Structure 1
Amino acid sequence: MSDKKTANTQVKQVEQYFSAKPSSQDVRRTLRVNLRGHEVEVEASNGVFSGHRLDLGTSVLLRQAPQPPAGGVMLDLGCGWGPIALALGLESPQADIWAVDVNERALELTQANAARLNIAGRIHAVKTDQVPQDLRFDLIWSNPPIRVGKSELHSLLMTWLPRLNIGGRAYLVVQKNLGGDSLIAWLAQELGDEYEVRKYASSKGYRVIEVSR
């Protein structure tokens, strides 16, 4: 495949998983994945983020993030087919978990996968405008959509990180070569003295960023 065709294919894939209604055919496939030590089978499809495997960045976050509390209100920001929300559901049996995405197919897959794992009652897979405006979070885990562009990414993070409860924490995974270190400095400046932002872990070219309030 030529460089031009490769670039066009990548752009098309990005447009689809950032789209509310992906244009690609919905071809479901079963994946066997490890979610923080839980070997499970899930469904993925075309037109959603990392629809053929567990994304490396997500895998790094799931391995490196500290043990979540048993309960609380939690958020998976940019859920895709649901690996982060599912891992939280399996690890935190008393938690109320919100999984948000712009992609309707991704939300459908997340809810279907939660049902497969018998945790559907505690996972709400919804669009951002369906999250109650007064809801605050004890924990946020996210593999944020870096490729939406810096301005949109910054807007997204500054919409949701200020919704952490006092004492709450967020863990974000970002590739080092896509601005992981500079994002730490930017978040620290924008969030202000009420928050602490630091590099929590590094693995396979990724940074795990901790934001605590």
Structure 2
Amino acid sequence: MEHYFTDNRHLKENRKEITFRFWCFDYSFITDNGVFSKEAIDYGTQVLLKTICEREELGERILDLGCGYGPVGVVLKKIYPTKAFEMIDVNPRAVQLAKENICRNQLEADVHVSNIYEDLHQESYSDIITNPPIRAGKAVIYTMFEEAYQHLEVGGKLWVVIRKQQGAPSAVKKIKDVFGNCEIIKRDSGYYILEAIK
């Protein structure tokens, strides 16, 4: 089954501009066919962003895992301009859009194609942030959780947004098995924000 967490450049283009206001900033994004939530910034991502910003706990090197067209990396880079952001996705179309959206919003980040953690540019990260691609299946998502541990510095955090009905309880159990801890730090309209610390 085809989904957005794949190389789908053969899909017909249908680019559109969407806008998003978060805190006191306005953002502009170009989206397209074959990327997640192309019509608007999805509610789960909004809850994730709000939770992270309210806690003000990001470290210095952040990995936006499965960045899509870039809403998480773009918004957080604007709010935390001194932090180093690396944004990766397996989908080349999404990565191209993310690069354009970083530029549209007059920001800088390292944006490139990587199949999960296969081609990272840093040895370790203070934070790994993901809205995991549910349609890609449990094997992909659990690999994201399992391998996050080795790519985090000591004290580094994994941040995950996932809906209860799409496997949040089992995700909590899996992350606890890997990290030894996993806290549900926010619940909102069926979305759980999870935090695990290395």
AA in 1 matched with 2:80: S
Instruction: Flag the structure with larger Rg.
Output: 1
Instruction: State the secondary structure of the residue aligned to 1:17.
Output: coil
73-82 or 49-58, larger mean C-alpha shift:
49-58
- Note the C-alpha offset of 1:37: 4.1
Q: Which residue of 1 aligns with 2:157?
A: 169
AA in 1 matched with 2:39: H
1:8-49 per-residue CA deviation (whole Å, 9 max, x = no partner) reads: xxx5xxx14122133321221110112454221111111111
AA in 2 matched with 1:199: I
CA distance in 2 between counterparts of 1:17 and 1:137 reads 25
CA distance in 2 between counterparts of 1:168 and 1:35 reads 25
Q: Which residue of 1 aligns with 2:131?
A: 143
TM-score (norm 2): 0.90
> In 2 relative to 1, CA 63–37 (structure 1 residues): closer, same or farther, beyond 3 Å?
farther
Q: Which residue of 1 aligns with 2:16?
A: 29
> In 2 relative to 1, CA 164–67 (structure 1 residues): closer, same or farther, beyond 3 Å?
same
CA distance in 2 between counterparts of 1:208 and 1:36 reads 19
TM-score (norm 1): 0.84
AA in 1 matched with 2:92: E
Unaligned runs of 5+ in 2: none
AA in 1 matched with 2:136: V
Instruction: State the 4+ residue runs in structure 1 displaced beyond 6 angstroms.
Output: none
AA in 2 matched with 1:27: N
Please say if residues 89 and 123 of structure 1, whose CA atoms lie closer than 8 Å, have aligned partners that are also in contact: no
Please say if residues 61 and 125 of structure 2, whose CA atoms lie closer than 8 Å, have aligned partners that are also in contact: yes
Instruction: State the secondary structure of the residue aligned to 2:28.
Output: strand
Query: Where do 1:44-193 residues align within 5 Å?
Result: 44-65=31-52, 66-69=55-58, 72-120=60-108, 122-128=109-115, 129-132=118-121, 135-192=123-180
CA distance in 2 between counterparts of 1:60 and 1:185 reads 21
Q: CA RMSD in A?
A: 1.8
1:62-108 per-residue CA deviation (whole Å, 9 max, x = no partner) reads: 12222244x61101111110000111211111111111111001000
Please say if residues 16 and 24 of structure 1, whose CA atoms lie closer than 8 Å, have aligned partners that are also in contact: no
Please say if residues 62 and 126 of structure 2, whose CA atoms lie closer than 8 Å, have aligned partners that are also in contact: yes
Please say if residues 159 and 194 of structure 2, whose CA atoms lie closer than 8 Å, have aligned partners that are also in contact: yes
Q: How many residues align?
A: 194
Q: Which residue of 1 aligns with 2:186?
A: 201
Please say if residues 66 and 88 of structure 2, whose CA atoms lie closer than 8 Å, have aligned partners that are also in contact: yes
